[in-house]
Amino acid sequence: MVTTLVARLAAIVGEKNVLVDEAAKAPFLQDWLGKYRGAAAAVVRPGGTDEVASVLAACREAGISVVPQGGNTSMSGGATPDPAGRAIVLSLTRMNRIRDVDPVGNTMTVDAGVVLAAVQEAAKAAGRFFPLSLGAEGSCTIGGNLATNAGGVAVLRYGTMRELTLGLEVAFADGRVWDGLKALRKDNTGYSLRDLFVGSEGTLGIITGAVLKLFPEPKARATAFVSLRDTSAALSLLARVRERCGDRLTAFEFITGDCLTLVLRHVGDVRLPFTQVPPAAVLVELSDSDDDSALGARLEASLVDAAEAEIILDAAIAQGATQARSFWRLREGISEALVREGRAAKHDVSVPVAQMADFIVAADAAVAAAAPGVRPIMFGHLGDGNLHYNLLKAENTNDADFAAVAPVLTRIVHDETARCRGSISAEHGIGQLRVADMSRYKAPIELELMNALKAVFDPTGLLNPGKLLPDMSNH
Ligand code: FAD
Ligand code: MLT
Ligand code: ZN
């Protein structure tokens, strides 16, 4: 069966775009965190929408599952097939054309496999700005960003991928294709089908193209690295900067001192703008599409005001783009530093900003009671209530003991999140990492409705089984 299918797939995409050799498949079967290792009958690399549709139809006839994959930077194991090895991994990376850039209508139409950084550059070349920005932007693809409704560091001002998208092109398990590539900001002709696929993690259809919103390029930026005592101080600073700077506030990234210590330990070419590691820090950035030379003064006035109110301990305002980049390097180096530091129970939670301090105090206390010595390492997009609340193995604990206690700690963190009416996955999606949690934290009616949608779009459960929703297929 599979041999016949592989031959059919080779006829569709060309023999060299069907990888069966174990070494060739390997990079597609391991997730970025090194937490999951899957297996696949083949990795298929279609070159266009029609080929994707034909591959899907062939797999459906053969009854073989399909795992769509973009840049393979998922933090929830969403793009890694299960170890059984019967699935086909469908990589979108060959579909990397920018189809159209319209600087008047402020839209860009792209293939799903275009890397996010390439979209940012194409927008810049057209004198525009595409605001989605995250640490994996050099590898992640627009299709993956859409499928996970990616967030990143500019959500505060521009929203998540859902708010940055106007139209989609989607291929379905039965081989049909929906051309929803409309460049309209207003279209009220029925249900918003587009929004169903944003965040669907490859379980309803495969996104093959998108129309993205473009924005005026920021002409002025002001960036500061601020040291402070704790999260409460950071939240007070957030309120003040918001009050004074309005929607010029573009990024507000919180980092604990412990997190900064790991970055300084594991990441090269980074330098702290202070003589010693503070208890906590915030990277704050303002931007304006006007050439607003007063922006720096506005940021400085906010920080002076916060210093006088004893909210902050110190602040370094970037004296140009090079220093601003060095501040961002401290922030972007965190994921890499955490992987190098060792085992951690990672959590990507969001709670209402007003409850963030209460959440942290309660979660810290409950974690310390359950596992003394485990180290909370926190950072994240505090401005939009999204905290990466990670728990590092205690120095004197072995990996096996930590692996045994980690699920208990995750349950504690997620229960505290639920108590604050938050979300157990703010931006990384559910993937395979959080599937089991869905039954505990989503209302039965939500699971019923999501399963009903899954049955409509993928009745045989071939698309990305075992991800986002409990596996419906036995493929
Ligand atoms: P993949 O990892 O290839 O796939 C992700 C999911 O989407 C999988 O379920 C896959 O099956 C599905 N999929 C992929 N392509 C398609 C398609 N065309 N159609 C349908 N389904 C598809 N995420 C954030 O939100 N914010 C961050 O700040 C952030 N920072 C990160 C920093 C680092 C260093 C790393 C490694 C990751 C980070 N991520 C972040 C997570 C990850 O980069 C995002 O989830 C990203 O959107 C995934 O894109 P990708 O192309 O790599 O998708
Ligand atoms: C980030 O904000 O850096 C990412 O979401 C990645 C992570 O959580 O490690
Ligand atoms: Zn993040």
CA 387 / ligand 3 centre spacing (Å): 8
Looking at the CA of 89, which ligand is closest?
1
Note whether residue 86 is domain-resident.
yes
Q: Give the residue from 216, 233, 248 where a domain finishes.
A: 216
Domain at 81, CATH number? 3.30.43.10
135 and 39 share one domain: no
310 and 237 share one domain: yes
User: Structure tokens of 151?
Assistant: 């967030």
At 472, the pLDDT band (50, 70, 90 cuts) reads low
Report the range of poorest mean pLDDT among 284-293, 345-354, 362-371, 403-412.
Answer: 284-293
Q: Give the residue from 303, 335, 367 where a domain finishes.
A: 335
Residues with CB under 6 A from ligand 1: 32, 67-75, 78-79, 92, 112, 134-136, 140-141, 143-145, 147-148, 150-152, 201-202, 206-207, 335, 427-428, 431, 464, 467
Note whether residue 386 is domain-resident.
no
Higher pLDDT, 385 or 85: 385
Q: CB of 331 closer than 6 A to ligand 2?
A: no
Cα gap 336→349, rounded to integer Å: 19
Note whether residue 139 is domain-resident.
yes
211 and 119 share one domain: yes
Residue 67 CA: nearest ligand 1 atom is 11
| Contact between 197 and 205 (Cβ < 8 Å) | yes
Query: How many domains are contained in the chain?
Result: 3
196 and 230 share one domain: no
83 and 118 share one domain: no
293 and 196 share one domain: no
* Closest C-alpha to ligand 1, atom 49: 144
Note whether residue 356 is domain-resident.
no
Q: Which pLDDT score, from 0 to 100, does residue 173 have? A: 97
pLDDT digits (tens, 9 = 90+) for 253-282: 999 999 999 999 999 889 999 999 999 999
Residue in 143, 156, 59, 41 with CA at minimum distance from that of residue 97? 143
Is this structure's pTM higher than 0.95?
yes
Burial (CB count within 10 angstroms: exposed 0-12, middle 13-18, buried 19+), residue 141: buried
CA 280 / ligand 3 centre spacing (Å): 17
For the chain, the maximum distance between any two Cα atoms, rounded to a whole number of angstroms, is 73
226 and 139 share one domain: no
275 and 304 share one domain: yes
104 and 78 share one domain: no
Note whether residue 460 is domain-resident.
no
151 and 238 share one domain: no
Domain at 264, CATH number? 3.30.70.2190
Cα gap 357→235, rounded to integer Å: 8
At 30, the pLDDT band (50, 70, 90 cuts) reads very high
Q: What are phi and psi of 195, to 5 degrees?
A: -70, -20
Percent of the chain with pLDDT over 90: 93
Q: What is the mean pLDDT of the chain?
A: 95
Q: Which pLDDT score, from 0 to 100, does residue 471 have? A: 58
Note whether residue 467 is domain-resident.
no
194 and 285 share one domain: no
75 and 131 share one domain: no
Domain at 153, CATH number? 3.30.465.10
Note whether residue 376 is domain-resident.
no
Domain that holds residue 10: 2-91
Q: Give the residue from 285, 314, 335 where a domain finishes.
A: 335
> Best mutation site among 31, 52, 73 for ligand 1, i.e. most ligand atoms within 8 A of its Cβ?
73
pLDDT digits (tens, 9 = 90+) for 36-66: 999 999 999 999 999 999 999 999 999 999 9
ipTM: 0.99
Q: Which pLDDT score, from 0 to 100, does residue 366 have? A: 96
pLDDT digits (tens, 9 = 90+) for 330-380: 999 999 999 998 888 999 999 999 999 999 999 999 999 999 889 899 999
Q: CB of 65 closer than 6 A to ligand 2?
A: no
Note whether residue 447 is domain-resident.
no
Residue 332 CA: nearest ligand 2 atom is 3
Looking at the CA of 262, which ligand is closest?
2
